[in-house]
Amino acid sequence: MRMYDLIRKKRDGKILAKDEIIYIIDGYTKDKIPDYQMSALLMAVYLKGMNEEETLNLTIAMADSGDKLDLSEIKGVKVDKHSTGGVGDKTSLILGPMVAACGVPVAKMSGRGLGHTGGTIDKLESFKGFTTSLSEKDFINNVNDIKLAIVGQTANLAPADKKIYALRDVTGTVENISLIASSIMSKKIASGADAIVLDVKTGDGAFMKTEEEAVKLAEEMVKIGNGAGRKTVALITDMDQPLGYAVGNALEVKEAIDTLNGKGSKELLELCYALGSQMLVLGGKALSESEARIKLQEAVKSKSALSKMAEFIKAQGGEMQAVYQTDLLPKAEIIEPVLAQTDGYISKIKCEEVGMVSLILGGGRENKESIIDLSVGVILCKKIGDKVKNGDILAYIHGNAHKKVNEAKERLLSAYTITKETTGVSKLVKQIVR
């Protein structure tokens, strides 16, 4: 078998066999196939596409290229959740405790963020002492004991995907549905869950800008998940404005705690109920979405989900008391309001711009070496559809340097569009793909 022949085969629009895909992934991971040949193949895939079977075989080959988490010692159906990313997306912080409180084991492998805010792990490190460096034994024991544990991704999880993604990033081959779907799902399959719920974002702050693109990606990932023996469901959800009101690590943790107290954003809680319902059904703890929703609502009302969060934080070395006294979380020294400059209605919030505000303040990483300031970010006070008057507070900037705060205020003000006529708010959950 020669890489040259496989490049020509895909260039001519032919189907790559399973053993050929395994040869490519194995060879590239072990540095037997050079970047220039892999680049040529990726461009051929980008232009000619891959069918359903090829995409599944590519995903499994990448998942098999490194470490795989064995969760067989964990009792029950392990359900994982993945979001394609957005601004203010703190759903994992809420869903984990909520779903675990209903009896579904959540054994999650998460990463750090690269961009406007930190990832789930960065946010959890707002709790003093919290660690995701658990041994495999402690990880499994924690899930069996309290139904919830989150660890950092191992360096050798789907290494083929890391190498291929870096190459796609510099060769103009990122925007291909098969390559995007296999990249996401290879890591989910290697993470060991029995079932997967996907939150596929669409809108200004999402990778997929249109609902049509989001549905295509969701359908591809659901096919891969089911083809790999994982029950998989995807929700298409709105990201035309930040999710909830907080953007920034410790600020998002506080909003997550408020939500588990039943006091958070209604849209954020609704999304968690929608995703959580699918997790409970797949996990065998509810026969229907309506039954699952009732159980989740009870977990919030009874505070059992909040207690589960505290239990989880303590089990991983964190300051549990911060769940009940959020003033113990990191706080910024400067809090400045951003004021409306005219009367009218909020008709648009440039979601990516709000994310950039957090990055300017130090809440995200511009590169892998960047150090995150967990205390900074934005608290929105007005969102799409809200009426405002000149001088009303649109948001509060939380920062630790006056120069950065002033730059952030200008940037955030430019993200808001205020018009004379009111505008409709996009539907939060647009579709469910099974």
Q: What is the average pLDDT across 370-390?
A: 95
| HSE-CB for 388 with a 13 A CA cutoff | 24
List of residues 6+ apart from 257 with CB closer than 8 A: 306, 309, 323, 326
One DSSP character per residue, 297-320 reads: HHHHHTTHHHHHHHHHHHHTT--G
How far from the centroid of its chain's Cα atoms is residue 166's Cα? 19
Token pair 């505000």: residue: 357
Of the residues 108, 116, 147, 168, which is catalytic? 168
Q: What is the average pLDDT across 1-18?
A: 97
Q: Which residue has the higher pLDDT, 282 or 115?
A: 282
Report the b/e string of 315-349 with b at 16+ CB within 10 A.
bbebbbebbeebeebbbbeeebebebeeebbbbeb
The confidence score (pLDDT) of residue 369 equals: 75
The confidence score (pLDDT) of residue 371 equals: 87
Q: What whole-number percentage of the chain has pLDDT above 90?
A: 85
One DSSP character per residue, 186-206 reads: HHHHHTT-SEEEEEEEESTTS
Q: What is the average pLDDT across 370-395?
A: 95
Chain mean pLDDT for the chain: 94
Of the pLDDT bands very low, low, confident and very high (cuts 50, 70, 90), residue 169 is: confident
H or E segment at 109? Answer: strand 106-110
Where are the domains positioned within the chain?
3-49, 79-157+167-323, 330-419
Residue from 207, 242, 181 nearest 381 by CA: 242
Q: What is the average pLDDT across 154-160?
A: 86
One DSSP character per residue, 318-364 reads: --GGGGT-GGGS---SEEEEEE-SSSEEEEEE-HHHHHHHHHHHTSS
Topology of domain 79-157+167-323 in CATH is: Pyrimidine Nucleoside Phosphorylase; Chain A, domain 2 (3.40.1030)
Strands 377-380 and 429-433: unpaired
Assess whether pLDDT exceeds 70 at residue 42.
yes
CA distance 263 to 255: 9
The confidence score (pLDDT) of residue 425 equals: 86
Residue 122 annotated among the catalytic residues of the structure: no
Determine the angle formed by the axes of helices 177-190 and 211-227, rounding to 10 degrees. Answer: 40
Q: What is the average pLDDT across 274-287?
A: 97
Please check whether residue 204 is in contact with residue 352, taking contact to mean a CB–CB distance below 8 angstroms: yes
Residue 183 annotated among the catalytic residues of the structure: yes
H or E segment at 151? Answer: strand 148-152
Assess whether pLDDT exceeds 80 at residue 93.
yes
Q: What is the average pLDDT across 223-228?
A: 96
Residue 187 annotated among the catalytic residues of the structure: yes
Three-class SS state of 81: strand
Q: What is the pTM of this model?
A: 0.93
| Domain with residues 330-419, CATH architecture | Alpha-Beta Complex (3.90)
Residue 161 annotated among the catalytic residues of the structure: yes
The confidence score (pLDDT) of residue 113 equals: 67
Of the pLDDT bands very low, low, confident and very high (cuts 50, 70, 90), residue 115 is: low
Of the residues 78, 90, 147, 187, which is catalytic? 187
Of the residues 161, 199, 238, 373, which is catalytic? 161
Please check whether residue 222 is in contact with residue 198, taking contact to mean a CB–CB distance below 8 angstroms: yes
Q: What whole-number percentage of the chain has pLDDT above 70?
A: 98
Of the residues 110, 126, 182, 183, which is catalytic? 183
The one-letter amino acid code at 322 reads A
Q: What is the per-residue pLDDT across 44-90, written as a single tens digit (0 to 9) for each?
A: 999 999 999 999 999 999 999 999 989 999 999 999 999 988 899 99
Of the residues 10, 78, 81, 82, which is catalytic? 82
Q: Which CATH number is associated with domain 3-49?
A: 1.20.970.10
